[in-house]
Amino acid sequence: MLDWIQLFLLLFQAALAVLVVYLLLLTAAAWRAARQTPARSGEPTNRFLILVPAHNEERLLPDTLANLRQLDYPQSLYAVHVVADNCTDQTAVIAQQGGAVVHERFNDDQRGKGFALQWLLQRLWHMNEPHDAVLILDADSVISSNFLRVMDARLARGERVIQAYYAVRNPAQSWSVSLRYVALAVLHYLRPLGRMVLGGSTGLKGNGMVFTADILKKHEWSASVTEDLEYHMTLVLAGERVMFAPDAIVEAEMPDTLTGSQTQNTRWEQGRLEMARRYVPSLLRAAGSAIKQKEYGRAYLLFDAAMEHIIPPFSLLTGLSGLAFAAALVLFFIARNNPAVNNSLAIVNLLLGTAVFLGQIIYIFYGLYLVKAPAQIYKALLYAPAFVIWKIILYMKVMFGRETQGWVRTARN
């Protein structure tokens, strides 16, 4: 019986090892990636529309608008448009006072960021507002002063969809915010860097996204609760690649407690599972067809997009790896004292479990090294076990339908 348990554990750890090896492949590739965008010769020329969807954001929107007025970019080449979506506060008034063009929208049946952006884009096209590209920015965010210059340089060299480095504002605010900083360091910085080297697509992170005008006109923006994930799938299947601009930075406020982030995390994981069900088979079939046609670059692009959905949240992967390692350790000691148990299999299990766990440590710490994480972030890792347990419970509830979430505004500090 114990030998069958060991065999099952070996297969389980082998599956975890495949996922961790892929993360380490991206980690190794990130080491070779360029982290600065070459400056464009001459003055910038691209005209940007900055779209800010806002629902009851009267407290945080002033900081965002003040930040946008101080960009190192000719003000004649960008305009800020705020869609005050189903607001019951002073968001529209504050947006107008902050120099933005305000669009008020009221629709109780179609609530959420995706619907608001769909509506605003159609409205702007009807107005024939002149622009070359669109930046989508959350109302609780600030961007680096070089942001539009970086994007202008990338557009000038032919890039059509670009994702900035989406990071955490005030990462030392609490241990849960610090751990969110850790998660985004690898998910929003290390992995995109690796994908740029290997030929993958960065993915869309929902904030700090730039699109050429023709892309948004050709592919309608999604209105799902995870509209960025779905739009990315649409683009990849259409042959588009999202590029990464690591030196253009957008920082957003995050809830400072696990309770405050409950609705946001539920929505994300619910959306991830739904996107995986809907798109992973299509992506893998398309990758197989590309291989048959010897389009190996496109095959990797599609396969990598599927892997991004297959790899579970890192906290879940870490938790499962920890449980598997603990089981391997127990079985190893049982095998040492029981001649009837396969000792060789126990040793292989223990070695594999150790390797899987060490691989994740390398992945995390190299990501923190790349983003030059402050010392406070490393101290917050002491709270990681509590966060992992919380996230696993939440993920299991979402997976088995015990926890569902439509669009709800995330709690603000």
The whole-model pTM stands at 0.91
Q: What is the tens place of the pLDDT at every residue in 89-144? A: 999 999 999 999 999 999 888 888 889 999 999 999 988 888 999 999 999 999 99
- Report the percentage of the chain scoring pLDDT > 90: 69
Q: What is the mean pLDDT of the chain?
A: 90
The answer on pLDDT for 413 being more than 70 is: no
The answer on pLDDT for 260 being more than 70 is: no
Give Cα 289 distance to the centre of its chain: 27
pLDDT bin (cut points 50, 70, 90) of residue 16 is very high
Q: What is the 3-state secondary structure (H, E, C) of the chain?
A: CHHHHHHHHHHHHHHHHHHHHHHHHHHHHHCCCCCCCCCCCCCCCCCEEEEEEECCCCCCHHHHHHHHCCCCCCHHHEEEEEEEECCCCCHHHHHHHCCCEEEEECCCCCCCHHHHHHHHHHHHHHHCCCCCEEEECCCCEEECCCHHHHHHHHHHCCCCEEEEEEEECCCCCCHHHHHHHHHHHHHHHHHHHHHHHHCCCCCCCCCCEEEEHHHHHHCCCCCCCCHHHHHHHHHHHCCCCCEEEEEEEEEECCCCCCCCCHHHHHHHHHHHHHHHHHHHHHHHHHHHHHHHCCCHHHHHHHHHHHHHHHCCCHHHHHHHHHHHHHHHHHHHHHHHCCCCCCHHHHHHHHHHHHHHHHHHHHHHHHHHHHCCCCHHHHHHHHHHHHHHHHHHHHHHHHHCCCCCCCCCCCCCC
Domain boundaries, the chain: 2-32+312-373, 48-275
**The CATH number of the domain covering residues in 48-275:** 3.90.550.10
Q: Cα dist. 238→214, 218, 219, 278, 280 in Å?
A: 14, 10, 9, 16, 15
Distance CA 84, CA 405 (A): 22
More confident residue, 279 or 336: 279
Mean pLDDT of 231-243: 94
Confidence at residue 407, expressed as pLDDT on a 0 to 100 scale = 47
Mean pLDDT of 7-21: 94
Confidence at residue 402, expressed as pLDDT on a 0 to 100 scale = 54
Confidence at residue 257, expressed as pLDDT on a 0 to 100 scale = 76
